[in-house]
Amino acid sequence: MRVLVTGVAGFIGSHVAELLVADGHDVLGVDDLSGGFLENVTQGVLFKQASVTDDLGQMFGDFRPQIVFHLAAYAAEGLSHHIPRFNYENNIVGTVNVLSEAYRIGCEHFVFTSSIAAYGHPTSETPFDETTPCVPCDPYGTAKLACEYHIKSVAEYYGGPAYTIFRPHNVFGTRQNISDPYRNVVGIFMARALHDQPLPIFGDGSQTRSFSHIGAVARAIASAPWVPAAQNETFNIGGDESMSVRELAENVSREFGVTPKLEFMPPRNEVQHAHCNHVLARSVFADAYTQAVDIRSGLREMAEYVRSHPVPPATECPAPIEISDRLPPSWAKRL
């Protein structure tokens, strides 16, 4: 089938495109290279450099994808407080633009990566499931939830395209950008540990996440259009294993053979404990989870990749700071 993947030079997008090519699909990959890298684009993908906010009409009209995977986004949750306009333009307007073109050329299925950020702060110790009310607490989560509503409303109003929405969380693995100082804590820690530098931690590091290896996440996303039970559904996707940020820093240091050097900074206003229930995803995408990788094995794999690949130049903030109040001091120094 003809498949279009946005964000194809990025982390999740490159892994999904690789799986699609291996399955024999014709893949057109789109990326503006603001946070991704050409070397991530797997052989066999027809690559076009473009932003999701560009006029994409001719590209869609020429290729006429049957399936669209919209994985492009600027996913810096904390920074979104300080660049809200850019956040909404890149995430909401970009999604509206891609979906409109997909509808106009008769796309059959639209796959979208939302985020655990759509849930906001937990109100109990129970992990989020797909029935948990969404009350996002930052512009990034707000944008992702708005995109979800828009995708559903288009399908309801026009009768298509069918959709599958995923809410991944704290995904890590090979090809992740380790040079972005504002997002991807695993990548930030590995970039520092590689050079035996202090690992920055906001607060005391007791905040916990279920860090999720890319393997099962990418396999589930790539298979969604061909899984009947995934049609017009929303899924939490990721791992179940909990780890504190401090424990993560210590494990990353161990993989690089260095003594942990932890740099504690003022806490951010962030969710303290964020975890998801994956019962639904494990049921519908059982095959994707059969080879699930635990956090420590995933960190070892990613560390080996980082050691064997050049560290790219720093990926700086993609837009001027719009609101500087409460900007973390470590970020303010860069900006």
Choose among 100, 64, 101, 111: nearest CA to 226: 111
Known active-site residue 163 = no
User: Using H for helix, E for strand and C for coil, what is the string for the chain?
Assistant: CEEEEECCCCHHHHHHHHHHHHCCCEEEEEECCCCCCHHHCCCCEEEEECCCCCCCHHHHHHHCCCEEEECCCCCCCCHHHCCHHHHHHHHHHHHHHHHHHHHHCCCCEEEEECCHHHCECCCCCCCECCCCCCECCCHHHHHHHHHHHHHHHHHHHHCCCEEEEEEECCEECCCCCCCCCCCCHHHHHHHHHHCCCCEEEECCCCCEECCEEHHHHHHHHHHHHHCHHHCCEEEEECCCCCEEHHHHHHHHHHHCCCCCCEEEECCCCCCCEECECCHHHHHHCHHHHCCCCCHHHHHHHHHHHHHCCCCCCCCCCCCCCCCCCCCCHHHHHHC
Tokens encoding 229 = 């039970």
Catalytically annotated residue among 74, 103, 119, 140: 140
Tell me the C-alpha distance between 246 and 263, whole Å.
10
CB neighbours of residue 137 within 10 Å? 16
Name the residues annotated as catalytic: 140
